[in-house]
Amino acid sequence: MKAFNLTELSQTLLCPPGNGVFTVSTAQDRKERLHQLLYPDLDPETAWKESLYQLSDLSGCMILGVPSDCGGGIQRGANWGPLFIREKLWQTVPAPRAFELGDVRVIPHLLHDKYLNEETLRKCRKALYSKDTHLPVSPLSITEYYLDQFYQQIQQVGVLALGGDHSVSYPLVGSYLRAQKRLGKKVALIHFDAHTDLLTERLGIDLCFGSWVPPVLQYLTSPHYCYQLGLRSSSKDKAYWQNKFGIQQFWAAEIVEQGERHITDYMIEDLKRKGVEALYISFDIDALDKQFAGATGTPEGAGLHPDQCMLILDQLNQAFPITGADLVEVAPLVWSQGISDQEHTLCSAARIGTFLIDALNHAFQ
């Protein structure tokens, strides 16, 4: 793949943090609050563009928003997740130690370019880029194209991506795993979720929130390097999924029954035996019980407690560097039990996000 100037590519394919949700006037105040936190008393567009000239000199954690919920299918609203999570992060930990890449530019009606005809591609390219180009236009395609270029040119950084529904993990994890394979590193995927996301298609669509895992398994040394935790909502049992895909699962009930330390000890021993060198964390907020994560598209009961997840993450991080991560499915304007769902969910997300920022910084210090 031809290498592009990464600063120019970032300025073209991305936009300032919070601007990935396309609005004209409605909800502009939400973006302005975030911009005031990130770029106080500065023009956010100018400040963000100028910051991107530092890219090649940086190391540590970088935050990328992928505010797309076109791949969801039960309850939309995760497109607002990146903006609200960032705001909560900055309120919880003033000036988090992470560089802001910004948001992927999102046309909210699109998912992946392979589903589009040539006329739609041409019109959307004109709308996004105002010029004749062959650049991608759908959020999953833009994310994949950008990160493939990013990982070719920058190695001493870890990306924490904020979603978005879980379909966004298809390009995020795929690009990361391909980059690690080029470096000759053996890595594992640690996937927290209430759902398996192991469908091969949903209503004929092969890339969505419920089917992103199968296409990325090919980039692992073996599917056995994918570990899923917190599962509890599935039409099939654990044996079915493990036998079909060769992955490893730890359902919420067995984590509660056996204890998170027992499960984590087993995982660490297994990872070390395989010679794993680094981890990617994909964290769907609905891995948590709905009392801690009600503002999501598919809240589920009988889930994990945030303390359990933090212990698992901490123990894994003590044994292996976390070099990539995503935090998805936070839908801050969606709730079933009241406005407290939003606050509880954002507090949980900020806690997990803060940990992942610190872990990524530590991995590349």
pLDDT digits (tens, 9 = 90+) for 25-42: 777 888 999 999 999 999
Q: So what's the pLDDT on residue 228?
A: 99
In a domain, 190, yes or no: yes
Question: Quick one: three-class SS letters along the chain?
Answer: CCCCCHHHHHHHHEECCCCCCCCCCCCHHHHHHHHHHHCCCCCHHHHHHHHHHHHHHCCEEEEEEECCCCCCCCCCCHHHHHHHHHHHHHHHCCCCCCEEEEEECCCCCCCCHHHCCHHHHHHHHHHHHCCCCCCCCCHHHHHHHHHHHHHHHCCCEEEEEEECCHHHHHHHHHHHHHHHHHCCCCEEEEEECCCCCCCCCECCECCCCCCCHHHHHCCCCCHHHEEEEEECCCCCCHHHHHHHHCCEEEEHHHHHHHCHHHHHHHHHHHHHHHCCCEEEEEEEHHHECCCCCCCCCCCCCCCECHHHHHHHHHHHHHHCCEEEEEEECCCCCCCCCCCHHHHHHHHHHHHHHHHHHHHHHHHCC
Q: So what's the pLDDT on residue 276?
A: 98
What residues contact 340, with CB distance under 8 A and at least 6 apart?
294
Q: Is 0.95 topped by the overall pTM?
A: yes
Beta bridge partners of 190: 227, 281
In a domain, 83, yes or no: yes
Beta-strand pair 99-104/14-15: antiparallel
Q: So what's the pLDDT on residue 329?
A: 98
Asked if residues 335 and 342 have their Cβ atoms less than 8 Å apart, the reply is yes
Cα–Cα distance between 304 and 251 in angstroms, integer? 10
Cα distances (Å, whole numbers) of residue 13 to 20, 98, 150, 156, 180 = 10, 20, 12, 22, 23
Asked if residues 171 and 147 have their Cβ atoms less than 8 Å apart, the reply is yes
Domain containing 174: what range?
A: 6-363
pLDDT digits (tens, 9 = 90+) for 300-356: 999 999 999 999 999 999 999 999 999 999 999 997 777 789 999 999 999 999 999
Comparing CA positions, the residue from 125, 134, 211 lying closest to residue 168 is 211
What residues contact 280, with CB distance under 8 A and at least 6 apart?
173, 176, 177, 187, 188, 189, 190, 322, 323, 324, 325
pLDDT digits (tens, 9 = 90+) for 36-79: 999 999 999 999 999 999 998 999 999 999 999 999 999 999 99
Cα distances (Å, whole numbers) of residue 50 to 9, 11, 16, 47 = 13, 10, 11, 5
In a domain, 231, yes or no: yes
Cα–Cα distance between 278 and 177 in angstroms, integer? 11
Residue type present at position 83: L
Domain of 106, CATH number, reads 3.40.800.10
pLDDT, average across residues 93-103: 88
pLDDT higher than threshold 70 for residue 3: no
Q: So what's the pLDDT on residue 273?
A: 98
Comparing CA positions, the residue from 147, 151, 152 lying closest to residue 172 is 147
Cα distances (Å, whole numbers) of residue 104 to 42, 51, 93, 257 = 21, 16, 24, 40
Cα–Cα distance between 351 and 183 in angstroms, integer? 31
Q: So what's the pLDDT on residue 130?
A: 87
In a domain, 1, yes or no: no
The token pair at 39 is 């770029």
pLDDT digits (tens, 9 = 90+) for 130-181: 888 899 999 999 999 999 999 999 989 999 999 999 999 999 999 999 999 9
In a domain, 353, yes or no: yes
Q: What's the domain count of the chain?
A: 1
pLDDT digits (tens, 9 = 90+) for 202-244: 999 999 999 999 999 999 999 999 999 999 999 999 999 999 9
Q: So what's the pLDDT on residue 75?
A: 92
Cα–Cα distance between 225 and 307 in angstroms, integer? 25
Q: So what's the pLDDT on residue 96?
A: 76
The token pair at 233 is 């909502």
Q: So what's the pLDDT on residue 315?
A: 98
Cα–Cα distance between 257 and 255 in angstroms, integer? 6
pLDDT, average across residues 285-310: 97
Q: So what's the pLDDT on residue 132?
A: 80
pLDDT higher than threshold 70 for residue 1: no
In a domain, 99, yes or no: yes
Phi, psi torsion values for 172, nearest 5 degrees: -60, -50
In a domain, 248, yes or no: yes
In a domain, 24, yes or no: yes
The token pair at 236 is 């099939």
Percent of the chain with pLDDT over 90: 91
